Amino acid sequence: MRSNIHLSIHALSVGLIAAMVIYVCSLFSWQAWVVFFAWANFFLHGSNLKKSFKLLIALITGIFLALAATYCINYLSNHVIVNSPKVYPVMMVVFVLASLIIFLEYFRSWKELIPAIFLGTVLYFATDTNNSDLAYQLVLPLLFGLISGLLTIFVRTKLDAVLK
């Protein structure tokens, strides 16, 4: 019975934190799903702060690689492969980018981060953010998601101590 009460209180505290995330996102005009994405990834990485920061670095790396890819696609479309369907420069750049990311397997410390780098590229394209507010619309919400994960662990630890 006691564990059911603990679980219920924990569930309500997570719901409250999630509601606060929505409120903060509305204040800053952030897309809430980016924050929840980072929050979930915090738990996917075992609630480990060091791994979570490595994940954050990998996501940011992916975001900036996608930004560079966008510039390359535009350059190729306007200066190299002119008067052809845009799919050709996109194919070329995606081929190079995906290959380069997989080449990171040569570096043992980066091998586990390759999926997160790909996810960072997806985040960039999925949010359709303006390049001038990239840090504000992506990096800060990702960091806030990580903080939300830490807050969840902190609250659960304190609640468990109180409920004993």
pLDDT in tens, 4-25: 888 899 999 999 999 999 999 9
Tell whether the model's pLDDT for residue 111 goes beyond 80.
yes
Question: How confident is the model over 114-126, as a mean pLDDT?
Answer: 93
**Of 7-11, 38-42, 45-49, 121-125, minimum mean pLDDT range:** 45-49
Tell me what pLDDT residue 2 has.
Answer: 59
Euclidean distance between CA atoms 100 and 94, whole angstroms:
10
N- to C-terminal Cα distance for the chain?
13
Backbone phi, psi, residue 83, to 5°: 60, 35
Nearest alpha-carbon partner for 131 in 81, 87, 68, 85: 68
Please give the angle made by the CA atoms of 102, 142 and 136, to the nearest 5 degrees.
110
By the 8 A CB rule, do 150 and 35 touch? Answer: no
Euclidean distance between CA atoms 81 and 72, whole angstroms:
11
Question: How confident is the model over 131-137, as a mean pLDDT?
Answer: 88
H-state helical runs in the chain: 2-28, 32-44, 49-75, 87-103, 108-111, 114-127, 134, 140-163
Tell me what pLDDT residue 110 has.
Answer: 83
State the pLDDT confidence band at 141, using cuts at 50, 70 and 90: very high
Tell me what pLDDT residue 52 has.
Answer: 85
Tell whether the model's pLDDT for residue 136 goes beyond 70.
yes
Average pLDDT, the chain: 91
Helix (H, G, I), strand (E, B) or coil at 142: helix
User: In terms of pLDDT, which residue wins out, 67 or 109?
Assistant: 67
